[in-house]
Amino acid sequence: MTVLRDLLAGDVLEVAPALLGARLSHGGVTVRLTEVEAYAGTDDPGSHAFRGRTPRTEVMFGPAGRLYVYFTYGMHFCANVVTGPEGEASAVLLRAGEVVDGSDSARRGRTHLGERDLARGPARLAVALGLARDENGLDLLDATSDGALTLADDLTMAQRVRTGPRVGVSGPGGDGTVFPWRFWLADEPTVSVYRPAARRRRG
């Protein structure tokens, strides 16, 4: 696991596409990741850690390979893999994936969702894997934990990687500029729908 942790400790813009095709397991469910977004910590206004270390963002400062789970809009949990050198707060948001094992458990009562939609979007992905507040800080590279991350060994995966703006996020820079920090696998039905950042109206 030392090799994988060293890989995850690299630059977030290199780690993010490397996570595509990876398999993340927790609670008897395995999801193959098909869409992610990179967040560059204190250098990125879109990151929760942009303003520095807080009790909420503590786990983002490392070590790499841990989960950063946060609650959003008062109703959903979302999960990130912490990346970069320890002491720097970069992370990769897990936006979407395909449930490849444990689909009955992944459904968790969501009878209205088809197989494609069980982990399509960051909130649904977290539900499918049973990730919530208690999993914040979970070490995915610790063999004794309930979570596990395995990178894809498909050498053709890089040919399918596409990039574009993050969903609902402008920047960095705060001037409305968008950077191609969302990564996904082409021709995957589980990739979520793109929504641009909403422009703020000046009063």
The pLDDT of residue 1 is 58
180: which residues sit within 8 A by CB, 6+ positions away? Answer: 163, 164, 165
Return the SS3 of 124.
helix
For the stretch 24-34, pLDDT in tens is 999 999 999 99
Does residue 5 register a pLDDT over 60? yes
Q: How far apart are CA 98 and CA 30, in angstroms?
A: 8
| Among the ranges given (18-22, 43-47, 61-65, 118-122), the one the predictor scored with the smallest mean pLDDT | 43-47
More confidently predicted of 129 and 180:
129
For the stretch 43-63, pLDDT in tens is 888 888 888 888 989 999 989
Could you tell me if 136 and 31 are in contact, meaning their C-beta atoms sit under 8 angstroms apart? no
Q: What percent of the chain has pLDDT over 90?
A: 65
Instruction: Identify the CATH class of 2-185.
Output: alpha beta
More confidently predicted of 45 and 200:
45
171: which residues sit within 8 A by CB, 6+ positions away? Answer: 44, 45, 46, 177, 178, 179
